[in-house]
Amino acid sequence: MSTDRGEVIPVRSNFGTPGAPCVGPFFLTILVVPMLLKNQVALFTGSGRGIGRAIAQLFAKEGAAVFLTARTEKELAATAEEISRNGGRASYTPADLSRPDDCEQVVAVAREKLGRTLR
C-alpha cells in the first residue's frame, strides 16, 4: 500500500520462534517516509562528534540543510564533508556558545550560508 508520504511495508518478525522474547507470530508495520525534512533548515550545536554529529547526519539524510557548530573546526569540517559527500547540504562555523557574541555570530553565518530565516 502506498501513501503520498511514503510506503507501508509489512515485515514478518521472528517472534514466536524458539528463544524469541515473545510467543506467537505477528507482523510489524514500518512506515517509510523518504525525505521527511526536505526544504527544512536545522542548526546543531556540538555537531562535530558524538550524538550531535549523528543527529545532524540523520537530519541531512532526511533532506534538511544542516548548519553545524562546535568549538573544534577540524571535526566540523569532517562532519560537513561527510554529509556533502553523501548528498546532503551542510555548512558550519566554529564557536564557543558560552559567549553571547559567538551565539549571534552562529545565527548570522547560518542565515548567510543557508539562505533561510532561522527562528
Q: What is the pLDDT of residue 37?
A: 84
- Residue 65 inside a domain? The answer is yes
* Judgement on whether residues 27 and 46 belong to the same structural domain of the protein: no
* Judgement on whether residues 97 and 70 belong to the same structural domain of the protein: yes
* Judgement on whether residues 26 and 46 belong to the same structural domain of the protein: no
* Judgement on whether residues 76 and 96 belong to the same structural domain of the protein: yes
- Residue 54 inside a domain? The answer is yes
Q: Mean of the pLDDT values across residues 4-27?
A: 45
**Average per-residue pLDDT in the chain?**
78
CATH number of the structural domain spanning residue 103: 3.40.50.720
Q: Mean of the pLDDT values across residues 21-32?
A: 45
DSSP the chain: -EETTEEEEEEE--TTSTT-SSSS--EEEEEE-TTTTTT-EEEEESTTSHHHHHHHHHHHHTT-EEEEEES-HHHHHHHHHHHHHTT-EEEEEE--TTSHHHHHHHHHHHHHHH-S---
* Judgement on whether residues 80 and 97 belong to the same structural domain of the protein: yes
* Judgement on whether residues 20 and 46 belong to the same structural domain of the protein: no
* Judgement on whether residues 75 and 104 belong to the same structural domain of the protein: yes
Q: Mean of the pLDDT values across residues 37-55?
A: 91
- Using 50, 70 and 90 to split pLDDT, how confident is the model at 21? very low
* Judgement on whether residues 66 and 97 belong to the same structural domain of the protein: yes
Domain that holds residue 47: 41-114
| Domains of the chain: total | 2
Name the pTM for this structure. Answer: 0.68
**Over the stretch 67-119, which tens digit does the pLDDT of each residue have?**
999 999 999 999 999 999 999 999 999 999 999 999 999 999 999 998 765 55
Percent of the chain scoring above 90 in pLDDT: 61
* Judgement on whether residues 97 and 58 belong to the same structural domain of the protein: yes
